[in-house]
A and B are shown apart, each in its own frame.
Chain A
């Protein structure tokens, strides 16, 4: 079975450009999570969805960040406009329907904003 799929794996862009990160969760998982990992802040949750509906977006740093989940098999995280401080590794994860279940992480997208 395929795990969580993220694309692109690496993205280099210039400040001010729009960036879109993509995620395909594991089939059958009800929850999808977006995390950001930086040296300074560690792993932090940005937003998560249940059955395609955003449940908690309190971790989204500011209005430049937006996330959507148009269907059960696809989600996007968009940054517009991007800034150098957005440089990080962005992980997508999915899980079954309870807090008990482990989250399965994708390989991450390494974003560099110049």
Chain B
């Protein structure tokens, strides 16, 4: 069965600290996709990144970076030099290729609080 686990419910850091949000997934499918979404206090869900199961290259986008490791079924998200505007709930999600249209299975989310 497919499952996404975000073990960290809440994380609090001080501005400029680096922070890593953990995501562990379970799937029987060999082709799948992993996503991160951000939900700021305003409530909307914002897409951050997508990764497919055949591409284990890490990705960096500005202060954001993602580490995908199939061996440990993890897709972790690091924010470097965090800022107050990074405060939000972050969701990791899984989509299996056999599911037409990409039914997303979300983790429970990690609430990140960045204090000035």
Contact = CB atoms under 8 A, between A and B. Distances in A.
Q: Is the A/B pair a real complex?
A: yes
Interface of A: 30-31, 33, 42-45, 48, 50, 55-56, 89, 91, 93, 95, 97-108, 110
B102 A31 contact: yes
A102 B37 CA distance: 10
Secondary structure of the A side of the interface?
A: strand
23 contacts: A33-B104, A42-B109, A43-B91, A43-B106, A44-B106, A45-B103, A45-B104, A45-B105, A50-B101, A55-B100, A89-B43, A95-B102, A99-B32, A99-B99, A99-B100, A99-B101, A100-B33, A100-B52, A100-B95, A100-B97, A105-B45, A107-B44, A110-B43
B52 A102 contact: no
Given A107-B43, A107-B44, A108-B43, A95 B91 contact: no
A102 B50 contact: yes
Contact of B96 (A30, A56, A99, A107): A99
Given A42-B109, A43-B91, A103 B104 contact: yes
B35 interface: yes
Interface residues of B, number: 26
Interface of B: 32-33, 35, 37, 43-47, 50, 52, 91, 95-97, 99-109
Given A42-B106, A43-B91, A102 B47 contact: yes
Contacts of B109: 42-43
A35 to B, nearest CB: 8
A48 B101 contact: yes
Given A30-B101, A31-B101, A103 B106 contact: no
A50 B44 contact: no
Contacts of A100: 33, 50, 52, 95, 97, 102
